[in-house]
Each structure stands twice: as structure tokens, then as C-alpha cells.
Structure 1
Amino acid sequence: MQVSALITDRNRQVAKWVREELCSKGTNHFFDIWHIGKSVGKALDAAAKDRDCEDLKLWRPAVINHLYWTAASTPNGDADVMEAKWKSMVNHVQDIHVHDTPTFPCCAHLPLEGETRNKAWLEPGSTVAVKLESIASRTALVKDVRQLSPQHQTFSLEAFHSLMLHFAPKHTGFSFLGMYSRLLLAALHFNHNSDRQDAQTSDGEARYAVRYPRFRKGGWVVRPVKEKPSYTYASSFMESLRVEYSRSPQSLRESSTVLFLNAPAPLSSSYQRIDKDEAVGLYKAQHSRFNIQ
């Protein structure tokens, strides 16, 4: 299979492997925006604790929003344009809206006056402006911004991983076939409910809920309420099993046998075994010096 585009987080080992193994075959590697935005937010929070840098708290949401806009407004994923748009933020917060980059010569917003202004501009050359520029211009961050994914993100995959915990919680150990079956059920449930519509009130109005995510640190977000998940796939699955069993019980038993036979051996089977008496003897020898006569 030829992978045309791959979106991941900023794991450096994964990025190196993709660069060496896939990019040479025509794969474009992009980074998920949320992970980079989280990193930028942490850097701004740390810098805001420094003297004369408290205003970074006010600009933090706008900086993160600008990061998302940088990618979303560049659907073709042009790395030079995204870099120029990102760096223009440093000028924008100082009330400078004309830039010296031909790929993005001026800000795209309308004049900000009156009610559209809710934050004070940063003074050019001030401590807080220099600090923000040092954060936004870090070589590693700019390199990552050039690889922002303009269209697709990893949130749906992470939602599936979260759903898997309901079918296969980590605090419980399962056999290989037990885990295999639970992962299949999780995939069936996720695919069946992935296109749920927004819930509505009795009057036909869309329903919304106010949430307080932990990463917002007390901030709130409004999210549409989805319809309740459906489990009709389970009934269809059970009916299919009934039909197959009534048609050929032996065939179903043979399929189950094949699954059992193809189950891999436990990980502990690859370890070198030691005789139990020898292990007990070593244990007693190691603990004999602690015995008080």
C-alpha cells in the first residue's frame, strides 16, 4: 500500500523512521496541530511567570488560535506560507500588520478597532515581546510548523483509543483471543457510531453542553451534544452467528479452532527457564544474611 499522507504527533523516533522509510517513496508526513499547540501553550505559561511577561497570559489563546489558522488557511500545505503566517504573529501582537515576507506580506484580518480590540498591544522591543518572539522563532518549533497538517488530524484515532478502554480496560488482563475479540467489538462500535448526528430538543433546536476540559485550566468550551450511541450492530452480529451456526455448526467450530491454534505464545515463553529448586536455593542464599540468629 502506498501511503500518500501520514499524520502523527511529534514523536522524534517516529518522524525519523517516516523520513527514512516512507518519505523517499512519496509519503508526505504531517504533524497534528493539537500536540504542537499544547507544547506552545506550556512554553507561554512558563514564560508568563517571568517578570514583565504577565501579558503573555492574555495573548495565549490568540497565539494558539493563530497556530490553528496557520494550517487551516493553507489547505495545500505549503510549508513556506505556513512558516511566514506563523512568524507574522510576532509582528501582529505589536500592532505591526505589514511584513517583509513576500509569501505573506500583510495580515489577513480587517482593521481591528473598537469592540474588536480586547487586548493591549505589546510594546515593540519590550521584554514580553522579545520573550514571545524567542518562543515562536525556536528552530524546532518553526520546523514543526512547516509540517502542520492543514486538513486531517488525529483526534478520531485518539477517540477510538479512548473507546477501546471501555471494551478492554488496562486494569484487567485478557487472553490473546479475549483481547482480539474486544478490539474487534470496539472497532464495530466505533464505526457504527462514527457519524452520529447532533441531538435536538423537543422543539427541534440543537443541544449544546458547556465543558471544562483540564487542559483549559478553568476555561470552558461549548460542544454540540451527540445522539446516544446505537448498539444495533450487536443484534445483527448475533443474528449472523445464529444463521451461520444453523447452516454449518462444524464450520463454525473449525473457525474457532483455527483462531485458538493461531494464538501466539505468551511473551514469557521466550525467556530462558530456570529450575524451580535452583531458583528457590538462590533466593534463600540471597536472604540468609538478613536472618537474625
Structure 2
Amino acid sequence: MDLELRQILDVQLVQSNEVKSSYWMEMEGLTRCLKRVEEEGIVISDLVTDRHPQIKAYMKKEKSDINHWFDMWHMAKGVFKKLEAIGKKKKYKQVGDWSRSVSNHLYWCAASSEGDGELVSEKWLSILNHITNVHEGHGKRFPKCLHGDLEDRDWIKKGSLAFQEMEKVVNGRLLVQDIKKLSPAEQTSALETYHNVVCHFAPKALHFFYGAMKARIYIAALHFKKTPAGIKL
């Protein structure tokens, strides 16, 4: 999908028996789409996906000429779910109380940094100071918080059990590594909307043979192109 034009560029239908396992289907679909689009003479400068391990490795090794970004919604959702799960335990309740604020902070980090990965990283890690009511001394690129005076809230004590659990999530090796590639602008929300349109024409609860399924996803792509954003089926 072209995220700026909100148009489907190509559709590929991959069957599980065409690859090693269902885990490889997403990767196969992407490589087919990229090949088809490139054959049509379309130059891809940037690609936004989730953090699928195979896709990350493939883009780094085989498509290094394309700027590969990660979708904010997927990453923020993952952070929120981890913190929310931890917060369900009584001794870590504060982690759950801060879960939404921390995941929202991730959006701000990416949206306010114009694709500067190092700046995104510093802003993100500053949350470990912020939750302890420390708002300066974060790093060279982002030395202090930009907010004004704050009302009192349930700050987390540095070194406490709740802080240690929060730190494990916020400072996770893969998360800190991938956060530098958060997309500052375009996201995959429009693609998620298209998937909902596909589910309308081809409900997951029903089985369709290959030909019928292919026809239905083509119809979904055509319908999506003609449907204004925000219009429900």
C-alpha cells in the first residue's frame, strides 16, 4: 500500500503449503509484492512494517537501499500489553498505572524527532527518570523534559520492585534497538483498515477455495480504493 495516497499497489495470496510453515507466509507475501512493484518500475524509498524478525533481517540484508521503518502502533501496543500484564500483580500495581502513559510517550518520541533514531532513543529512555519525578539530566541530545509544572502523582521510587520491572521493559535490548527505526510519520493504520475490508468480503470464520479467495481479496482492494477514509461498510 502507498500510505500517502492510501492506495493498494499490489495484492498477493500466499497458501501455507507454498512455504515451510505459516510463519513464513508474511515474509513470502512481502517479497512477492516488492518484486511485482519493482517490475512495474515503482521506486520504493521507505517501507513501514511491524517488527517481524524475518522481515527485519531480509530488509537489512537484501533491501538495504530502502529505509525500513517500524510502525508505532504495533510497538506501543506491545509495550502497553507487557506493562499492563506486570501491573496485574499487586506488588507491581504502579507499573500498570503508568502503562498507558508510557506507551503514549512512545508515540511522542517518534512523532517529535523527525526520524532521528538517536534522539528517539534518548527521549524514550528519559521515561525511566520521569516516572521517578526526575525531569532533567536525561542525555546530551535530550537533557530535560519539555513539559511544564506537573501535579503530584503516584511516582515510582527508583530502585523499587516496580521500577525494576518497568526498567526491564523500557530498557529491553531489542526494543531499544528497534525504537531508533520508528516511523516518524506514515504508519500502517490504513493497511489495518484495508484488512478489515478484506475480512468483510472474506470472513476468517469461513473457508474459501483458492480461486474464490483470490477474487474476494481483489474485490476488497477495489472497494477500498473507492471507499473514503473513515467510511464503514
What secondary structure sits across from 2:184 in the alignment? coil
Q: C-alpha deviations, 1:23-48, integer Å up to 9, x for none?
A: 1xx21111111211222122212322
Which residue in 2 is equivalent to 1:37? Answer: 76
Partner in structure 2 of residue 83 of structure 1: 121
**Any gaps of 5 or more consecutive residues in structure 2?**
1-37
- Find the counterpart in structure 2 of residue 8 from structure 1: 49
Q: Matched residues in 1 for 2:63 and 2:210: separation?
A: 34
1:94/1:19 CA distance change after superposition, 3 Å: same
Q: CA deviation at 1:175?
A: 4.9
Shift of 1:127: 1.8
The TM-score, its normalising length taken from structure 2, stands at 0.75
Q: Which amino acid aligns with 2:197?
A: L
**Equivalent residue, structure 2, for 1:121:** 155
Query: Paired residue for 2:148?
Result: 110
Q: Distance in 1 between matches of 2:202 and 2:88?
A: 41
TM-score, normalization by structure 1? 0.61
Q: SS where residue 91 of structure 2 aligns?
A: coil
Residue 134 of structure 1: CA displacement? 2.1
Whether contact under 8 Å (2:129, 2:138) holds in the other structure is: no
Q: Residues 92 and 179 of structure 1: is their aligned pair in 2 closer, same or farther, counting only changes over 3 Å?
A: same
Higher relative contact order by CA 8 Å / sep ≥ 6: 1 or 2? 2
Which string of whole-angstrom CA distances, capped at 9 and with x for unpartnered residues, describes residues 3-41 of structure 1?
Answer: 211111111011101111111xx2111111121122212
- Given candidates 184, 188, 196, the residue that maps to 1:150 is 184
Residue by residue, what CA displacement relative to the aligned partner does 1:157-179 show, whole Å, maximum 9, x if unpaired? 12112211222234132452x43
Distance 1:110 1:33, change over 3 A: same
Higher-Rg member (1/2): 1
Contact 2:125 2:171 (8 Å CA) reproduced: yes
**Counterparts of 2:69 and 2:90 in 1: how far apart (Å)?**
36
Q: 2:207: which partner in 1?
A: 172
Q: Structure 1: where are the runs of 5+ without partners?
A: 197-225, 230-293
Task: After TM superposition, list the pairs within 5 Å mapping 1:1-293 onto structure 2.
Answer: 1=38, 2-23=43-64, 26-50=65-89, 52-74=91-113, 76-113=114-151, 117=152, 119-170=153-204, 171-176=206-211, 178-195=212-229, 226=231
Work out the number of aligned pairs and report it: 191
Aligned pair in 2 of structure 1 residues 163, 126: CA closer, same or farther (>3 Å)? same
Which amino acid counterpart does residue 104 of structure 2 have in structure 1?
N
Computed over aligned residues only, the root mean square deviation of the Cα atoms, in angstroms, reads 1.9
Distance change >3 Å, CA 54–CA 180, structure 1 → 2: closer
For 1:175 and 1:42, how far apart are their aligned partners in 2? 35
Query: Given that residues 126 and 138 in structure 2 are in contact (C-alpha distance below 8 angstroms), is that contact kept between their aligned partners in structure 1?
Result: no
In the other structure, the counterpart of 2:10 is none
Q: Identical aligned pairs, as a percentage?
A: 38
